[in-house]
Amino acid sequence: MNILSPALKAKLATPLTIGSFTLESRVFQSPLSGVTDLVFRRLVRRYAPKSMMYTEMVSASELSHLQKLPQIMEIDPNEQPISIQLFDCRPDFMAQAARKALVEGTKTIDINMGCPVNKITKRGGGSSLLRQPKVAEAIVREVVEAVDIPVTVKTRIGWNDEEINILEFARRMQDAGAQMLTLHARTRAQGYHGMARWEWIKKVKQVLSIPVIANGDIFSVEAAVRCLAETGADGVMCSRGTLGYPFLVGEIDRFFQTGQILPAPTPVERLQCAKEHLQGLWEYKGERGIRQSRKHMAWYCKGFSGAAQLRDKLSRISSIEEGFQLLNLPLIAYAERGGAYKFLRFPQETAP
Ligand SMILES: Cc1cc2nc3c(=O)[nH]c(=O)nc-3n(C[C@H](O)[C@H](O)[C@H](O)COP(=O)(O)O)c2cc1C
């Protein structure tokens, strides 16, 4: 049930302090590789103007070879507050990358210590840093030394069930100078499977003095409230719940700020949003944007009557016109049938 206790209400009415930086929202949009580009963030920001967002993770090693900052680090001057997330295992590269990120206008530097992908863990980055706490500590120290903005860490509870070391690890990150810790409450071995183990967020919150942000399975306002009540965390971070649904961070933030539950977007609003997303990706990235849009379009079309067929076609689009044509079909069908959601079907699948 969506009820805020007086203590939780008081906490939510208080700005969140991350070192020298103050945030007026306690709901975060997570970094999502291949997703949280400038186009996606603009959609999330429309509904959550005060929430912290993150770029996709940026490789400090790759950055060291580049003359120009890559597009994934680009920040629009109007999209604050935002943080650039970096990954690598070499403290000096991370410090250099953090200095470059400053130029873009990032408000904090976030260090990825949670990515489970083999390609990254094999090179000592992401969640493999949980097994190398000394290296992780050195990274935080050097980055803190290199920049005058807060440095934060996003990590998991441990490598696997036999190696859940988050309590000790989190303390070490705090002692090294991290100003906030986001905890994805799964082990690396879990990947994204099984339920997030929020009990570990509660334990970490009890041993740290810096803010702790809860991450994992925040798919609704109800989950966000329950997570804060159960863990005592200072805020929540939404991830997979925002795929094809850039409304979620705003919905939770609105409830945290006012106690108001926003009506769910109608299928028409979701499809209109999909069109805007597609157009944005086309304008920002051209052909590459169209290719990237396919997965987004499929996510937007979940749960509608007739969506399977639409998703299948959208997953093969090669131009914006093709995408618009497909997305317009259910919109037209909807309008023709007088706007009842139950009639929102892909035309060829409409029952006789
Ligand atoms: C497609 C995808 C991309 C992700 N990319 C990143 C990333 O770049 N940096 C990061 O710290 N975590 C990344 N994550 C992990 C999420 O931020 C989050 O920690 C995880 O999905 C757990 O939250 P959830 O259960 O609400 O999805 C990614 C997850 C997914 C599904």
Q: How far is the CA of 224 from the centre of ligand 1 (A)?
A: 17
Structure tokens at 175: 């002692």
Among 89, 115, 273, 301, the active-site one is 115
Q: Residue ranges per domain, the chain? A: 6-258, 267-349
Active site residue 227: no
CB under 8 Å to 50, separation ≥6 — which residues? 23, 24, 25, 81, 253
Q: How far is the CA of 17 from the centre of ligand 1 (A)?
A: 23
pLDDT value at residue 341: 46
The one-letter amino acid code at 36 reads T
CB under 8 Å to 12, separation ≥6 — which residues? 4, 26, 256, 257
H-assigned helices in the chain: 6-12, 38-47, 60-65, 91-104, 118-121, 133-146, 166-176, 198-207, 221-231, 248-258, 267-285, 287-300, 307-314, 320-336
The residues facing 29 across adjacent strands are 238
User: For residue 85, which atom of ligand 1 is closest to its CA?
Assistant: 9
- End-to-end CA gap in the chain: 40
pLDDT tens sequence for the chain (352 residues): 568 899 999 999 999 999 999 999 999 999 999 999 999 999 999 999 999 999 999 999 999 999 999 999 999 999 999 999 999 999 999 999 999 999 999 999 999 999 999 999 999 999 999 999 999 999 999 999 999 999 999 999 999 999 999 999 999 999 999 999 999 999 999 999 999 999 999 999 999 999 999 999 999 999 999 999 999 999 999 999 999 999 999 999 999 999 999 999 988 889 999 999 999 999 999 999 999 999 999 999 887 667 788 899 999 999 999 999 999 987 777 777 665 544 333 333 333 3
Provide the 10 A C-beta neighbour count for residue 351.
6
Structure tokens at 82: 């935002």
Strands 27-29 and 151-158: unpaired
pLDDT value at residue 337: 66
Q: How far is the CA of 49 from the centre of ligand 1 (A)?
A: 21
pLDDT value at residue 1: 54
6-258 homologous superfamily: Aldolase class I (3.20.20.70)
Q: How far is the CA of 8 from the centre of ligand 1 (A)?
A: 26
pLDDT value at residue 273: 95
Please choose from 239, 240, 295, 299 the residue to mutate so as to test ligand 1's pocket, defined by most ligand atoms within 8 A of CB.
239
**Residue having the nearest C-alpha atom to atom 24 of ligand 1:** 216
Q: Structure pTM? A: 0.95
User: For residue 238, which atom of ligand 1 is closest to its CA?
Assistant: 26
**Residue having the nearest C-alpha atom to atom 15 of ligand 1:** 32
Q: How far is the CA of 37 from the centre of ligand 1 (A)?
A: 14
Backbone angles phi, psi at 112, to 5 degrees: -80, 115
Please choose from 87, 240, 294 the residue to mutate so as to test ligand 1's pocket, defined by most ligand atoms within 8 A of CB.
240
Distance CA 110, CA 143 (A): 10
**Residue having the nearest C-alpha atom to atom 18 of ligand 1:** 239
Q: How far is the CA of 246 from the centre of ligand 1 (A)?
A: 15
The residues facing 258 across adjacent strands are none
Ligand 1 pocket, CB under 6 A: 30-35, 56-57, 85, 112, 114-115, 154, 184, 192, 196, 215-218, 239-241
